[in-house]
Structure 1
Amino acid sequence: MADYEENQSKFMRKAKENPFVPIGLAGFLGIVGYQLMRMKNRGNVKMSVHLIHMRVAAQGFVVGAMTLGVIYSMYNEFYLGPKQKQKAVTEK
């Protein structure tokens, strides 16, 4: 039971550090679920082509979320970081 609680808190900690990871995971699962529902009505499209489109859409969403996460962390570190350090120095 302790391993479960440790893993859950580790996931929550990582999600707070980088909020775009859960967003990317949710988007990936959403796209895959949507594409699987659309598979019934795919018409004359071959199964392999449908699966390739699903994979590309899901990967594109995850890469986009990762890119936004990197931009967000760079913004926090390089733009907000020095300002917060200046405030701490001036308050002392």
Structure 2
Amino acid sequence: MSAYDENESKFLKKAKENPFVPVGMAGFVAIVAYRLMKMKSRGDTKMSVHLIHMRVAAQGFVVGAMTVGVLYSMYRDYFAKPSGEQKSVEPK
């Protein structure tokens, strides 16, 4: 239980390591909330089609956030290192 003794929660630690995870979660919630509010004015579109569009938009945002997060992580690990660290990683 020593990991939980600190003041900072596990979620906040993970959010600092991967900042795009909370962005993806917030975007997912925002898209679902927006599409649920727009449900009244969907016109003659079937409910199932409206829900499918909502799901695809929310999933697309999450996948996009994950992709940007992976690219950011790769950039941080491989390209943004100081020159001293890059020399020690290079094979001899």
Matched, 1:46 2:46: yes
After superposition, what is the alpha-carbon deviation per residue over 1:47-74, rounded to whole angstroms, capped at 9, x for unaligned? 0000000000000000000000000000
RMSD: 2.1
Q: 1:60 to 1:14 in 2, by over 3 A?
A: same
Q: What are the residue-to-residue correspondences of 1:1-92 with 2, within 5 Å?
A: 9-81=9-81, 83=83, 85=85
Structure 1 residue identity aligned to 2:23: I
CA separation in 2, counterparts of 1:38 and 1:84?
Answer: 54
The residue type equivalent to 1:74 in the other structure is M
Instruction: Tell me by how many angstroms 1:80 deviates.
Output: 1.3
What's the CA shift for 1:85?
1.8
Per the alignment, residue 89 of structure 2 pairs with: none
Instruction: Specify which structure has the higher proportion of helix.
Output: 1
Look up the equivalent residue of 1:75 and give its one-letter code: Y
**Residue 84 (structure 1) shift:** 5.7
Unaligned runs of 5+ in 2: 87-92
Distance 2:69 2:11 in 1: 16
1:90 maps to none
Aligned-partner SS, 1:44: coil
SS in 1 for 2:80: helix
Following the alignment from structure 2 to structure 1, what is the Cα–Cα distance between the partners of residues 24 and 45? 27
Task: Report the count of equivalent residues.
Answer: 83
Structure 1: segments with no counterpart, 5+ residues:
87-92
